[in-house]
Structure 1
Amino acid sequence: MRSPGAWTLSRRLSVVFAVLLLACSGVSAWLQMAASERHEREVTQRLSLGLAAHIAGNAELMQRGGLNAEAVRDLFDKLMAVNPSVEVYLLDPGGRIVAQAAPPGHLKLERVSLAPVRSLLAGAPLPVLGDDPRGMGPKVFSAAPLQVDGRAAGYVYVVLSGEDRAAISANLAAGSALRTTLWSMAVVALLGLVAGLLAFRFITRPLRQLTDAVQDFERDGVAALGHAPALDAVARGNDEIGVLGQSFVQMAQRIDAQWKALTAQDQQRRELFANISHDLRTPLTSLHGYLETLRMKADLLDADERRRYLDIALGQSRKVGRLAQELFELARLEYGVVKPEKERFALADLVQDVFQKFELAAQARRQRLVADIAPGLPVVHADLGMIERVLTNLLDNAIRHTPEGGEIAVRLLHGDAGVQVEVADTGPGIPRELQPVIFTRPAFASGGERGGGLGLMIVRRILQLHGSDIRLEPRAGAGAVFRFALD
């Protein structure tokens, strides 16, 4: 169960999205400002690219033997008065500043790197940044070679974004431009955040419905799934959440089926204990009664009566012993203690062997044992001892519940993938109300009619260990027919 203060997945996704959106907006604003600055530099440099060459062509700057210092200073002052954004410098062939018009204390460099100058003169892509003699970082510039008396005398170096322009640009950037950028970023971020939150709410809606369904299932069980149409919509989806919804529904149904099976097994176990207690109590009570009678009336009974009482007591003792043995055998089969050791054998030979064990018992009751075996039957692959136990239990059951003069038949037929076995008798049959439970618990009809004991439960468990099962076939008239298959 989710605690009240816990953050939902939708809320966590929204916070992460908001942080990422703000980070992306900041990066976008920085890239935009950097691109705008680069564009401005390129435009400025492209427009003023010929300014240095124009200055270098001024003849008044030259005099015999070198530069005219007075003319140079006068020209620099006029240019910087007309366009305060430019700063003009004369460089010697090594890049050292030989003439400039900077106020005292503003010049920070005595020499300018000539590599950017040569790149610009070689036609490198704009903008090309060079040194700022006033130490304010790389700036766009215009440059041209300067010649005196036909020989190279250095370069005219014009910084196109001088100190005054940089100060004004910084103030403007801190003012309207920055505010405009920040407001634009805020508006874009706000719109993106609203759109993202709506999208997350729409995307995570099936997940919230699935979460509600899980909580309902935890509270009300599988019955809650029948009152969750939203879950049906989620389970019909083809995305990952739809697959998760389908898996949850299947898991819930499987858990419900397993829970019902466990409940049914628990009920069967309770009924088994109750019936076994009844089956044990009856012979034990009879055994106790006859033994007590023998002790109390030993001197009053003749030899025949004592022998009859002892025979009855011995018969009840055998019944208790047989029931205890069957119960022990069933427990070993149920808990997997016994594993079938399969081998190949002819089922027809096994039927004849089992018939020999019951031949005397059948003759004593004037019953007929019939083996109806189809020709050409294949051998089966099974545990010989276990299958013998199956046939023994079925024949013993049939002989005990078939009246004198009746018939017990075992038929071996060709099955779909092996041999089909059918055990039929002409007894009273099994009452309709007991037929659904004869293989799951001991059951006896009222009035002492035929039912199902532990023997049939053992038969079914042995066949299940062989990948088969047994069923009671409907039959018109008297008698019961049991059928199973082996391959």
Structure 2
Amino acid sequence: MAWATLSRRLSIAFAVLLLACCGASAWLQMRAGTQHAQEVTQRLSLGLAAHIAQNTELMKPGGLDPVAVKDLFDKLMTVNPSVEVYVLGLDGRIEAQAAPPGHLKRDKVALEPIRRLLAGERLPIAGDDPRSLDASKVFSAAPLRMGGRDAGYVYVVLQGEDHDALAANLSADTVLRTTLWSMALVALLGLIAGLVAFRLITRPLRELTAAVRRFEAEGIEALEREAPMPAPPRRADDEIAQLQQAFEQMTRRIAEQWRELSLQDRQRRELFANISHDLRTPLTSLHGYLETLLLKAGTLSEEERRRYLEIALGQSRKVGRLAQEVFELARLEYGVVKPEKENFALADLVQDVFQKFELAAEARRQQLKPDIAPNLPVVSADLGMIERVLTNLLDNAIRHTPAGGEIEVRLRPAEAGVAVQVSDTGPGIPGELQKGLFTRPAFADGGTRGGGLGLMIVQRILQLHGSDIRLVPQPGKGAVFLFRLGGAAGR
């Protein structure tokens, strides 16, 4: 639901918490104000009971004079309506008072607060209110002596019923209204400040939420279309910043993986298209010659029949070789083949591969030239795979080097291993076909040289050995390929 967003929930929670804090603060202020007023009243009237106790008119030879007591009490309460005067016995029982009929609720007052007051403890000190069963009020008290001995206490409630009635009216009319208005103003200002603060704090989270929703609605295009914005510096322990950074890293990784998948998908489609293109020619030729042999079997001479069969057989070999390369590339791509490394001398392997291509080179009047530096380190690699690498490179070089040309394999020590360079004197590879030469088959038209599945197989094999191959320009040469193999450990 719309109201259930994080920002709104935080705002509502903050508003409720703020109102609760304002209410608690107002209650504490009112309570503190009340205690302050009681302390002030009690301090100002602390000697009132003692002054009353010193009045000799209250006494007669037999004890208290009820008429004098009532007359004094009425005068005091008329002058100060907020006080209520009582005379207590030594046990706290009320001996004399001037309360209207029916207003007295107690006949006895606890003496403990009186003793604390007389001992000088910290004010305010509240004692029992004779006109209430549960209320406590500040008071003034003093011992009452008769004939040189203690006869009781003068007990003066300083905030009586009239004071409470007037205070209640004033509180309801002025103090409470002022407190509520103050609390409302503070709450409103705090709420505004809190909402602004929440909006600033949660802005990165809202931006992140918007980015996630765009990603959910538009997919990877939303990530590729938006340029990464430089994030402002934040503290390392900021959870929202960490979340935003993690999301940005995730989106970049997803975008990179998506681009890589798109590239691989495009390369796969190009591979299928190029393989289909490369298969179409030999298959068409094979089909044509076989069909010719079938239709004209009785009219062809033995020499023509033999020539047609040799051409068909050559096209069949080409199709078989291409099928084998596709199968081998698939095994390398999907990790079916793993290199089984061993230590061997690369110079010996080059000589063995040269022997395999001697007849083909002689038939084309080409020269195979080894250029091997002395004291080469032993390499650690899969012998069969590296032989396949050299075979593919030499096969390409022989097929694309004109008669009388030269194919050279150069071995040099480099970076705790051996650098291998295979070059020829052919036409080279056109610039438009050099990009992506080892990642997709590029079959050139018009007799120019391209890069087929053989170079892709070479690239995958070398990647399994932690190496790479690249095409390097070299004046006076055609195609020049360079790669490195690591040396054996401890050699």
Hey, what's the Cα distance between the residues in 2 that align with 1:437 and 1:199? 54
Secondary structure of residue in 1 paired with 2:435 = helix
1:242 is displaced (CA, Å) by: 6.7
Match of 1:118 among 115, 119, 124: 115
For 2:42, the aligned partner's letter is Q
Match of 1:185 among 183, 186, 195: 183
1:481 is displaced (CA, Å) by: 0.8
2:50 aligns with 53
1:480 is displaced (CA, Å) by: 1.0
1:280 aligns with 279
1:33 is displaced (CA, Å) by: 1.0
For 1:395, the aligned partner's letter is L
Instruction: Write out aligned runs for 1:399-410 (5 A).
Output: 399-410=398-409
Secondary structure of residue in 1 paired with 2:443 = coil
Hey, what's the Cα distance between the residues in 1 that align with 2:95 and 2:3? 73
Match of 1:43 among 36, 40, 44: 40
Alpha-carbon displacement from aligned partner over 1:88-138 (angstroms, at most 9, x marks no partner): 223333333333332332222333222222222222211112221222512
1:141 is displaced (CA, Å) by: 1.4
1:398 aligns with 397
Alpha-carbon displacement from aligned partner over 1:393-414 (angstroms, at most 9, x marks no partner): 2122222323344332222223
Query: Percent identical across equivalent pairs?
Result: 72
1:383–1:94: structure 2 CA closer, same or farther, 3 Å change rule?
A: farther
2:461 aligns with 462
Hey, what's the Cα distance between the residues in 2 that align with 1:120 and 1:384? 107
1:477–1:38: structure 2 CA closer, same or farther, 3 Å change rule?
A: same
Hey, what's the Cα distance between the residues in 1 that align with 2:344 and 2:46? 107
1:142 aligns with 140
Hey, what's the Cα distance between the residues in 1 that align with 2:152 and 2:169? 35
CA contact (8 A) 2:423 2:477 kept: no
CA contact (8 A) 1:413 1:420 kept: yes
1:350–1:93: structure 2 CA closer, same or farther, 3 Å change rule?
A: farther
1:11 is displaced (CA, Å) by: 4.8
> Runs of 5+ in structure 2 lacking a partner?
487-491
Which moved further from structure 2: 443-452 or 189-198?
189-198
Hey, what's the Cα distance between the residues in 2 that align with 1:421 and 1:17? 72
1:460 is displaced (CA, Å) by: 1.0
Which moved further from structure 2: 261-270 or 191-200?
191-200
CA contact (8 A) 2:3 2:9 kept: no
Hey, what's the Cα distance between the residues in 2 that align with 1:165 and 1:435? 104
1:225 aligns with 226
CA contact (8 A) 1:236 1:242 kept: no
2:164 aligns with 166
Computed over aligned residues only, the root mean square deviation of the Cα atoms, in angstroms, reads: 3.2
For 1:461, the aligned partner's letter is R
1:37 is displaced (CA, Å) by: 0.7
Secondary structure of residue in 1 paired with 2:82 = coil
CA contact (8 A) 1:398 1:408 kept: yes
For 2:315, the aligned partner's letter is Q
Q: What is the count of residue pairs matched by the alignment? A: 479
1:123–1:374: structure 2 CA closer, same or farther, 3 Å change rule?
A: farther
1:40–1:341: structure 2 CA closer, same or farther, 3 Å change rule?
A: farther
For 1:354, the aligned partner's letter is V
1:398–1:375: structure 2 CA closer, same or farther, 3 Å change rule?
A: same
Hey, what's the Cα distance between the residues in 1 that align with 2:288 and 2:213? 61
Secondary structure of residue in 2 paired with 1:235 = coil
Which moved further from structure 2: 420-429 or 106-115?
106-115
Alpha-carbon displacement from aligned partner over 1:367-400 (angstroms, at most 9, x marks no partner): 3333333344444443333323222221222223
2:446 aligns with 447
CA contact (8 A) 1:235 1:245 kept: no
1:253 is displaced (CA, Å) by: 5.3
Hey, what's the Cα distance between the residues in 2 that align with 1:292 and 1:413? 53
Secondary structure of residue in 2 paired with 1:281 = helix
Which moved further from structure 2: 200-209 or 411-420?
200-209
Instruction: Write out aligned runs for 1:351-390 (5 A).
Output: 351-390=350-389
1:93–1:384: structure 2 CA closer, same or farther, 3 Å change rule?
A: farther
1:456 is displaced (CA, Å) by: 0.5
Instruction: Write out aligned runs for 1:279-298 (5 A).
Output: 279-298=278-297
> Runs of 5+ in structure 1 lacking a partner?
none
Hey, what's the Cα distance between the residues in 1 that align with 2:274 and 2:177? 91
Alpha-carbon displacement from aligned partner over 1:55-87 (angstroms, at most 9, x marks no partner): 333334445565444443343333223222122
1:172 is displaced (CA, Å) by: 1.4
Instruction: Write out aligned runs for 1:429-448 (5 A).
Output: 429-448=428-447
TM-score (structure 2 length as normaliser): 0.85
TM-score (structure 1 length as normaliser): 0.86
CA contact (8 A) 1:89 1:97 kept: yes
For 1:178, the aligned partner's letter is L
1:329–1:159: structure 2 CA closer, same or farther, 3 Å change rule?
A: same
Which moved further from structure 2: 60-69 or 453-462?
60-69
Is the counterpart of residue 25 in structure 1 residue 22 in structure 2? yes
Hey, what's the Cα distance between the residues in 2 that align with 1:380 and 1:111? 112
1:305 is displaced (CA, Å) by: 4.4
For 2:309, the aligned partner's letter is L
For 1:142, the aligned partner's letter is S
CA contact (8 A) 2:438 2:451 kept: yes
1:338–1:113: structure 2 CA closer, same or farther, 3 Å change rule?
A: farther
For 1:270, the aligned partner's letter is R
Hey, what's the Cα distance between the residues in 1 that align with 2:225 and 2:366? 59
Secondary structure of residue in 2 paired with 1:446 = coil
1:308–1:190: structure 2 CA closer, same or farther, 3 Å change rule?
A: same
Hey, what's the Cα distance between the residues in 2 that align with 1:345 and 1:32? 93
Secondary structure of residue in 2 paired with 1:263 = helix
For 2:406, the aligned partner's letter is E
Secondary structure of residue in 2 paired with 1:143 = strand
Which moved further from structure 2: 72-81 or 476-485?
72-81
Hey, what's the Cα distance between the residues in 1 that align with 2:372 and 2:53? 126
1:7 is displaced (CA, Å) by: 6.3
1:203 is displaced (CA, Å) by: 5.3
1:235 aligns with 231
Secondary structure of residue in 1 paired with 2:423 = strand
Is the counterpart of residue 266 in structure 1 residue 262 in structure 2? no
1:343–1:89: structure 2 CA closer, same or farther, 3 Å change rule?
A: farther
1:45 is displaced (CA, Å) by: 1.0
1:332–1:151: structure 2 CA closer, same or farther, 3 Å change rule?
A: farther
